[in-house]
C-alpha cells in the first residue's frame, strides 16, 4: 500500500484522562490521524448510549464546566453546586438511551440542569437565605471584601463603592423569582441566546424575553443611580 505514504498522515496524541489505582498511574491517550479531528458529538453520544464509559466521560467533560459554573452562580454554594452536578450527570447517564437527537444534547442537558436548579432554588428558598460569604483558598470570606481586586493603586473610595454596588447587585439577584434568576444567569453570565434559554426551560423565546425584560427593569431601578 505504497499509496498511503502520500496521505500525509500524522499521528497526534492527546492526553484524555489520568487515574491513580493502587499506586499505579494510568494515562489514557487518544491518538488521532490528521490534524485534531475529533469524532463528532453524535458519534460520541451513540458510543455512550452503547455503554462506552470513555465516550460518556468525553461527553461529560464537554459540558461539565459550564454546568458547574451555572449551578454555582445560581446557588452560591459549593455543596449545592456539587449536588446538582452529580444529579444532572447521573440522570444523563441513566436516561441517555432515551435521547433521540430530536434536540441538541446541550438543550437536553440544560433542561435537566435548569429543572434541578429551579427545584432547589424554590425548595431551599435560596434567594432568602442568600449569603454574601463565599469559599476562598483562605476559608470563608465576604464577597464584598474581595470585590474590585484589580490590583490598581489603592482607592478606598472606589473599594467602598464597589463593595456597596456588589451588595446591591446581590440583593437584586436575591429578590428575583427562581425563573427570573435562571433566565438572567443564562443570558447575562452564560451568554445563551433567548431561543436556547426558552428551549432549556421548556418555554418559548418570547416568554424568556418577557422574563428577561422584567429583570432588566428591576436592575435598572436598583442600579441605575449607582453606575
We find the least distance from the C-beta atom of residue 84 to other proteins, in angstroms, to be 9
Residue 60 or 118: which CB sits closer to other proteins? 60
Measured CA to CA, the distance from residue 16 to residue 8 in angstroms comes to 24
We find the least distance from the C-beta atom of residue 4 to other proteins, in angstroms, to be 5
Q: Which three cell numbers stand for residue 32?
A: 488521532
- Give yes or no for a contact between 83 and 32, defined as CB atoms under 8 angstroms apart: no
- Cα 150 to its chain centre, rounded Å, is 25
The closest of 48, 72, 226, 203 to 143, measured between CA atoms, is 72
Give the three-class secondary structure for 16.
strand
We find the least distance from the C-beta atom of residue 223 to other proteins, in angstroms, to be 4
Residue 86 or 104: which CB sits closer to other proteins? 86
We find the least distance from the C-beta atom of residue 49 to other proteins, in angstroms, to be 10
- For residue 205, what are the contacts with CB-CB under 8 A and spacing of at least 6? 194, 195, 197, 198
Residue 19 or 102: which CB sits closer to other proteins? 19
We find the least distance from the C-beta atom of residue 25 to other proteins, in angstroms, to be 5
Query: CA geometry: angle at 72 spanning 197 and 92, to 5°?
Result: 60
Residue 13 or 122: which CB sits closer to other proteins? 13
Residue 114 or 185: which CB sits closer to other proteins? 185
Give the three-class secondary structure for 67.
helix
C-alpha radius of gyration, the chain, whole number: 22
We find the least distance from the C-beta atom of residue 203 to other proteins, in angstroms, to be 15
Residue 124 or 171: which CB sits closer to other proteins? 171
| Residue 221, Cβ density class (10 Å: 0-12 exposed, 13-18 middle, ≥19 buried) | exposed
Amino acid at each position: 500500500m505504497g499509496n498511503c505514504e502520500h496521505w500525509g498522515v500524522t499521528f497526534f496524541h492527546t492526553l484524555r484522562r489520568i487515574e491513580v489505582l493502587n499506586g499505579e498511574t494510568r494515562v489514557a491517550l487518544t491518538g488521532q490521524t490528521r490534524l485534531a479531528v475529533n469524532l463528532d458529538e453524535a458519534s460520541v453520544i451513540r458510543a455512550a448510549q452503547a455503554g462506552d464509559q470513555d465516550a460518556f466521560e468525553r461527553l461529560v467533560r464537554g459540558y461539565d464546566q459550564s454546568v458547574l459554573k451555572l449551578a454555582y452562580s445560581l446557588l452560591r454554594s459549593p455543596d449545592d453546586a456539587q449536588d446538582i452536578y452529580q444529579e444532572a450527570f447521573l440522570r444523563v447517564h441513566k436516561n441517555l438511551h432515551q435521547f433521540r437527537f430530536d434536540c441538541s444534547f446541550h438543550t437536553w442537558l440544560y433542561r435537566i440542569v435548569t429543572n434541578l436548579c429551579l427545584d432547589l432554588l424554590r425548595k431551599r428558598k435560596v434567594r432568602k437565605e442568600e449569603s454574601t460569604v463565599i469559599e476562598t483558598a483562605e476559608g470563608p470570606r465576604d464577597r464584598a471584601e474581595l470585590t474590585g481586586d484589580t490590583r490598581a493603586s489603592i482607592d478606598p473610595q472606589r473599594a467602598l463603592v464597589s463593595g456597596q454596588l456588589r451588595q446591591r447587585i446581590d440583593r437584586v439577584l436575591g429578590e428575583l423569582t427562581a425563573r427570573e434568576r435562571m433566565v438572567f444567569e443564562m443570558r447575562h453570565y452564560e451568554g445563551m441566546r433567548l431561543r436556547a434559554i426558552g428551549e432549556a426551560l421548556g418555554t418559548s423565546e418570547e416568554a424568556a424575553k418577557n422574563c428577561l425584560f422584567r429583570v432588566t427593569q428591576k436592575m435598572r431601578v436598583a442600579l441605575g443611580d449607582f453606575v
